[in-house]
Amino acid sequence: MGRLSAALLTLRGVRCLFSGFLLDPMRDAERSIRTLAVLSVAIPAVVFVASARTAYDDAFAEAQNHLKRTAEVTREHAIKVFETLRLAALHVDEVLDNLSDEQIKAGADSIKRRLQQLDETLDQIRDIWVIGKDGSALVTATASAIAENANFADRACFKAHKEGSVLPQSAYIGTPARSDLHKEGVKFVYSVARRSKAGEFNGVIAISVSPGYFWKFYRDIANTGVSAVSLVRNDGIKLAQYPGEPAQLLALPPDTALLDEVKKSPLGGAFAYASAGRIFAYSSLTRYPLLVTVGLDKAVVISRWWHLLYRWLLFGLPATAGLFGMCMVALYYTGRAIKANEELQQEIALREASEQRARHLQKMEAVGQLTGGIAHDFNNLLTVILGSLELMQRRLARGDLNIQHLAATASGGAQRAATLTAQLLAFARRQPLDPKPINPNKLISGIGSLISSTAGEAIEIETVLAAGLWQTNIDANQLENAIINLAANARDAMPEGGKLTIETANACLDEAYAASEPGMLPGQYVAICVTDTGRGMSPENARRAFDPFFTTKEHGRGTGLGLSQVFGFVNQSGGHVKIYSELGQGSSVKIYLPRHFGAEAQKAAAQETAEEDLRGSGTILVAEDEEAVRSFSRQALEELEYRVLEASDGPEALKILEEHSEIALLLTDIVMPGMTGKRLAEKARAMRPGLRVLYMTGYSRNAVIHNGTLDPRVSLITKPFTVEQLARKLKSVLEV
């Protein structure tokens, strides 16, 4: 479109040039018309042909790029599925625990129940078989009974592992076959060898996989603008494809053109298959002898190209005809060009939206693992809370007032849920921080008793605090939590006792060291090192130590968020954290916090306040759109002897402020429909300059927190909060 507009402007310039040199009006007019007629045909024709050729190449280039991106998304999905199968096989191997074939048969009922649990958990699995080293079927997840003479020694998966055609640590992926035992009718086998500790062959773990699981995903992928999606073995055997019915036994002849391309470029690429009338992109699963292919009919690409040419012709033909008799044709078609550019921008926006959907599909598997861990821990906590509340209701209904233990249990579960939420926000770097210049030596000395109680009597604690330690600008409460978390991890690593050392030091990190640590900048830091003499970690576990929900502790001993919280808090504060560990040699976690060059903040010693001292007086306006939270806030404030007025939104709160001059403080949620809490506070302070404001929020990404820290002179309390926490916060705000 831009080229055609430029051509029209050129024609107008040529016409003006001719008019300046013409002498005889009639002759000059004839020559001008003749010249314009030739130019109006020749220039648009040349531009159209060149643009059409360029657009043709661009259409196929864009189609290939789209296929490559889609192939990468499909590849990531396949990798996650087969990694899940690998983990499932490892889990089965752990269940078997190097048992002999006779021991497996003797405990078949117990093993079968565990296999069934795994089978029911993973949709892609249709059955799980444990095959003995002689090929006999030992146990299965779904079959009601195994025939006494059932033997799989002649099966390809068994032969591949026993004869060594598959590497000892590799999986064998079989050919799709029809099976009457499965409702979908078709399955293929993913199998791994069972080996003794000495590496001897002990049999096979075979997992029947449903091609229909892939078919459903490929059906969704096809909706993003591709014609065919398939999962293929490196020898050309197709395991799953779309279009086609998932229960259909797929044709197995190898795709010669595909295999030729794979030999040329093993990792991935794109090519045109002339006999099929399609273009393809493929991507290999490097860990498995598999690749995914994505195809698009050439006719679809050519159709899109023709539609583009039709739009150009709709523009070019009227423009060419108008050049013969209209002086304003250039201006008119310039407007058409602007409109065409707007349409092009809309097309780009639609294309970007399609790419975002494809990226969204790619992220879903990763998000699923994180949400699964969160759901597991929260369901456990909700079980404790809801169960305790139900038992309290039952006892109260029959007049039994012995509910203190149940109330404490429910409160403890809710507190652990709040802690889990805070840990998640810390890992995601979304917790609100209130940094102040502090001396870490004073902070560590002040929490010495808490560290001792956390570590326990069996652990010796030593603190080595450097003289002349620099200041750092940090949220003291979060730093305390981080040190306590590290002390708790050290305690768990030393169940038989040991030594915990906490050291501080000044550190100057040069550019060479900073370059070796991603995300770290050279400069002066305050270093805090927490070292234990515990069991230590392997290099693999040390690399994953900061991952959320990753833990080496036994089930029920941790959420896997402690180190993640430390990592998120330190990085959000502009620092860096590093872990050093060796098996049997203990672990050391080093926290580097940026040096602060200003003066240390004056902080009064913490004093325990008696319950009666937390009570207050005066009138407080609560603005909260959530009725349950508003009701709790009102009752909590009334418990503290404040007078309370309520508003469900910003306009109602402003009206109450106009009518009640005695209001001393506005307690408002930040996120409210219609008018945000920040906007409400601005209008309220415009009406009442001396009004105190305390914000409430359940999530820190909002208008009063930037770069992870509170805006200056902003008071905030995060949900959930207790009555005591609210009372202390109100005291600090009202007494300023």
711 pLDDT exceeds 60?
Answer: no
> Checking phi first, is residue 708 left (phi over 0); if not, alpha (psi -120 to 50) or beta?
left
* Mean pLDDT, rounded, for 528-549: 78
Q: What confidence category does residue 359 fall into, taking pLDDT thresholds of 50, 70 and 90?
A: low
| Alpha carbons 97 and 202: distance in angstroms, whole number | 12
Using the predicted structure, report yes or no on whether residue 324 has a pLDDT greater than 70: no
What integer is the mean pLDDT of 25-50? Answer: 65
Among the listed residues 727, 704, 731, the one whose alpha carbon sits nearest the alpha carbon of residue 716: 704
Mean pLDDT value across residues 105-134: 87
Q: Is the pLDDT of residue 156 over 70?
A: yes
> pLDDT: is 637 or 18 the higher one?
637
What's the pLDDT band for 609 if we cut at 50, 70, 90?
very low
Is residue 207 within 8 A of residue 127, CB to CB? The reply is: yes
- Beta bridge mates, 643: 619
Of residues 509 and 189, the one with the higher pLDDT is 189
Q: Does the pLDDT value for residue 646 go beyond 90? A: yes
The C-alpha atoms of residue 413 and residue 455 are separated, in whole angstroms, by 22
pLDDT tens figures, 160-187: 888 888 887 788 998 888 765 555 567 8
Tens digit of pLDDT for each residue in 630-641?
A: 888 888 888 888
Q: Positive or negative CA dihedral for 26, 31, 34, 35?
A: negative
Residue 644 pLDDT class (50, 70, 90 cuts): very high
- Of 53-67, 394-408, 469-483, the one with minimum mean pLDDT is 394-408
Look at residues 387, 382, 454 and name the one whose alpha carbon lies nearest to residue 421.
382
pLDDT for res 621: 92
Q: What are phi and psi of 649, to 5 degrees?
A: -155, 180
Q: Long-range contacts made by residues 270-276, C-beta under 8 angstroms, separation at least 24? A: 270/64, 270/67, 270/68, 272/298
Element (H, E) at 92: helix 25-96
pLDDT at 643: 92
pTM of this structure: 0.40
C-beta separation of 613 from 660 below 8 A: no
Q: How confident is the model at residue 434 (pLDDT cuts 50, 70, 90)?
A: low
pLDDT digits (tens, 9 = 90+) for 378-393: 666 667 676 667 677 8
Question: Is 668 a residue whose pLDDT tops 70?
Answer: yes
Omega into 720 within 30° of 0, i.e. cis? yes
Provide mean pLDDT across the span 426-445. 71
Nearest CA to 240 out of 216, 222, 257 is that of: 216
- pLDDT class of 222 with cuts at 50, 70, 90: confident
92-120: burial string, b at 16+ Cβ within 10 Å, e else? bbebbeebebeebbeebeebbebbeebbe
Q: Which residues contact 374 (CB under 8 A, 6 or more apart)?
A: 420, 424, 549
Whether 622 has a pLDDT exceeding 90, the answer reads yes
Nearest CA to 494 out of 450, 533, 463 is that of 533
Q: How does the average pLDDT of the chain come out, rounded?
A: 76
Query: Measured between alpha carbons, how far is residue 587 from residues 422, 444, 505 in Å?
Result: 25, 20, 18
Residue environment code for 249-267, b if the CB has 16+ CB neighbours within 10 A, otherwise e: ebeeeebeebeebbeeeee
Superfamily of chain region 436-596: Histidine kinase-like ATPase, C-terminal domain (3.30.565.10)
546 near 565, Cβ under 8 Å? no
How far, in whole angstroms, is CA 309 from its chain's centroid? 41
State residue 561's pLDDT score.
54
What percentage of residues in the chain have a pLDDT greater than 70?
A: 73
Q: Is the pLDDT of residue 23 over 50?
A: no
Q: Residue 302 — φ and ψ, nearest 5°?
A: -65, -35
Q: Which of 526, 516, 510 is nearest to 575 (CA)?
A: 526
pLDDT at 429: 45
Task: Please tell me the class of the 611-734 domain.
Answer: alpha beta
Contacts of 501 by beta carbon, 8 Å cutoff, 6+ apart: 461, 462, 463, 464, 529, 530, 531, 532
Q: Could you give phi then psi for residue 721, rounded to 5 degrees?
A: -135, 155
- For 55, counting Cβ atoms within 10 Å of its Cβ (0-12 exposed, 13-18 middle, 19+ buried), the class is middle
- Please state the rounded mean pLDDT for residues 90-103: 87
Q: Per-residue pLDDT for 308 more than 50?
A: yes
List Cβ neighbours of 161 (8 Å cut-off, separation of 6 or more): 172, 191, 192, 193, 201, 204
Residue 647's contacts (CB-CB under 8 Å, 6 or more residues apart) are 621, 622, 623, 624, 653, 655, 656
Pick the more confident residue, 428 or 419: 419
> pLDDT tier at 655 (50, 70, 90 boundaries)?
very high
Task: Assign 333 to helix, strand or coil.
Answer: helix
- Report the distance separating Cα 31 and Cα 436, nearest Å: 83
Q: In the predicted model, what is the mean pLDDT of residues 17-41?
A: 51
Calculated CA dihedral for residues 515, 520, 525, 530, nearest 10 degrees: -100
pLDDT of residue 204: 92
Range with the lowest mean pLDDT among 37-46, 128-137, 302-311, 676-685?
37-46
